[in-house]
């Protein structure tokens, strides 16, 4: 079987380990692996190349993806999807493994409906917002990056007796903020999934400040769009000198953690085995230390929810 792998949408640590294992496992089982460089844009432009062991040597520790990624406005026009199909035909590629999220899976599903090119999706996003999987590729590394940043910020916050408001990525999902607040011992956590009771928080924190609290850490998910509001509250209501740190895209980079390297391996192997089982329009998921697949329609369009055990451990000051 000739199988291509591509990235689509935002990058995440762990993509290179997945790419490496994809090539190795394809060759082990007699398949022919191909790279699509530059995501959907590269597929349209025919940036397709047969892959070998040499192509993936020494990449396991690297962040990002050696094959690149992209978002594509041209993909919405059928003529460009037809062009992409012609490019695949030139190499007789039968299926695509896509490292991406909800939007990437939708893009490939439209493609399959028109040209019957099968695909298997690997949930690849630090947002951890894909339904049906407990972890997406890249999440663990992003959490460790955030944890390290918060630990460093705590040093300066405690030294200068300041409040720090730290904004994490995650789009509309508060998973990164929730877990980071929990493991860093932050006093405030603001996420889309739970209403932050500012009035109660004010009373509790004012009482703690009166007893000698000298600094404050507030973790805010970008999807709430409340970073500036929380900073103003810390400054004006709590009376604390306040600084804002937006962590931004450093959360997407860096050497993938041990967990993400192992996840990358497992996701890649399950994707290829799913194709060998004759599965179509599937997404690989990871739950209870086991890899499996779910149908496209079971995953896409459904809302991921943060596990209740995580939410119950957080102190939302309400």
For the domain that residue 111 is a member of, what is the CATH number? Answer: 3.40.50.450
Q: 134 with 11, same domain?
A: yes
Whether 129 is a known active-site residue: answer: no
Distance of CA 244 to the CA centre of its chain: 23
Residues 278, 174, single domain; the answer is no
Among residues 11, 31, 102, 127, which one is catalytic? 127
Q: Kindly state the tokens that stand for 110.
A: 């439209």
Q: Are residues 159 and 36 in the same domain?
A: no
What's the confidence (pLDDT) of residue 315? 63
Over the chain (318 residues), the average pLDDT of each successive run of 10 is: 96 98 98 98 98 97 96 96 98 97 96 96 97 98 98 96 97 96 95 93 95 96 98 97 97 97 98 98 97 96 92 70
Secondary structure (3-state) at 87? helix
3 state SS of 206: helix
In a domain, 313, yes or no: no
Phi then psi for residue 91, to 5 deg, are: -105, 5
Distance CA 252, CA 138 (A): 8
Are 57 and 76 in the same domain? yes
Same domain, 145 and 96: no
CA distance 45 to 213: 59
Based on the domain organization, do 122 and 11 belong to the same domain? yes
Q: Other CB atoms closer than 10 Å to residue 199's CB: what's the count?
A: 11
Work out whether the CA dihedral 155, 178, 204, 200 comes out positive or negative: positive
**Does residue 244 share a domain with residue 145?**
yes
Judgement on whether residues 115 and 236 belong to the same structural domain of the protein: no
Residue-level pLDDT at 314: 84
In whole angstroms, give the CA distance from residue 26 to residue 269: 9
The domain boundary residue, chosen from 211, 234, 252: 252
Domain that includes residue 200, residue range: 141-252
Q: Is residue 221 part of a domain?
A: yes
Residue 315 lies in a domain: no
Which of 74, 60, 3, 11 is CA-nearest to residue 35?
3
Q: Report pTM.
A: 0.95
Please tell me the total count of domains within the chain.
2
Look at residue 218 in the predicted model and tell me its pLDDT: 97
C-alpha distances (whole Å) from 86 to each of 43, 211, 274 are 10, 70, 25
Shared domain check, 108 and 70: yes
Does some domain include residue 309? no
Q: Residues 82, 163: one domain?
A: no
What is residue 313's predicted lDDT score, i.e. its pLDDT?
Answer: 87
pLDDT given at position 316: 54
Residues 20 and 117 both lie in one domain: yes
Question: Which of 123, 65, 129, 63 shows the shortest CA–CA distance to 99?
Answer: 123
Give the end of a domain, one of 252, 270, 289.
252
What is the reported pLDDT for 98? 98
Handedness of CA 271, 255, 38, 73 (dihedral sign): positive
310 found inside a domain: no
Cβ(284)–Cβ(123) below 8 Å: yes
Token pair for residue 17?
Answer: 């380990």
């Amino acid at each position: 079987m000739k199988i291509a792998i591509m990235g689509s949408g935002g990058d995440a640590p762990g993509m290179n380990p997945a790419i490496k294992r994809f090539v190795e496992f394809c060759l082990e089982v007699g398949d022919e692996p191909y790279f699509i460089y530059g995501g959907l844009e590269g597929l349209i432009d025919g940036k397709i190349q047969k892959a070998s062991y040499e192509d993936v040597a020494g990449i396991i520790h690297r962040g990002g993806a050696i094959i690149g990624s992209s978002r594509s406005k041209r993909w919405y026009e059928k003529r460009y999807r037809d062009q992409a199909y012609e490019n695949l035909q030139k190499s007789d590629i039968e299926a695509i493994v896509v490292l991406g999220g909800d939007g990437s899976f939708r893009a490939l599903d439209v493609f399959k409906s028109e040209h019957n090119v099968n695909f298997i999706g690997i949930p690849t996003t630090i947002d951890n917002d894909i339904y049906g999987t407990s972890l997406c590729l890249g999440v663990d590394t992003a959490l460790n990056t955030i944890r390290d940043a918060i630990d460093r910020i705590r040093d300066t916050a405690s030294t200068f007796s300041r409040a720090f408001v730290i904004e994490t990525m995650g789009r509309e999902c508060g998973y990164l903020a929730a877990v980071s607040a929990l493991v860093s011992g932050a006093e405030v956590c603001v996420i889309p999934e739970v209403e932050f009771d500012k009035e109660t928080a004010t009373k509790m924190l004012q009482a703690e400040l009166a007893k000698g609290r000298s600094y404050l850490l507030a973790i805010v998910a970008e999807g709430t769009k409340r970073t500036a509001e929380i900073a103003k509250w810390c400054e004006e209501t709590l009376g604390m000198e306040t600084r804002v740190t937006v962590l931004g895209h450093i959360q997407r980079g860096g050497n993938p953690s041990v967990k993400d390297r192992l996840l990358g391996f497992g996701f890649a192997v399950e994707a290829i085995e799913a194709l060998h089982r004759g599965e179509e329009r599937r997404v690989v998921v990871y739950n209870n230390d086991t890899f499996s697949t779910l149908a496209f329609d079971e995953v896409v369009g459904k809302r991921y929810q943060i596990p209740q055990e995580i939410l119950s451990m957080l102190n939302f000051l309400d």
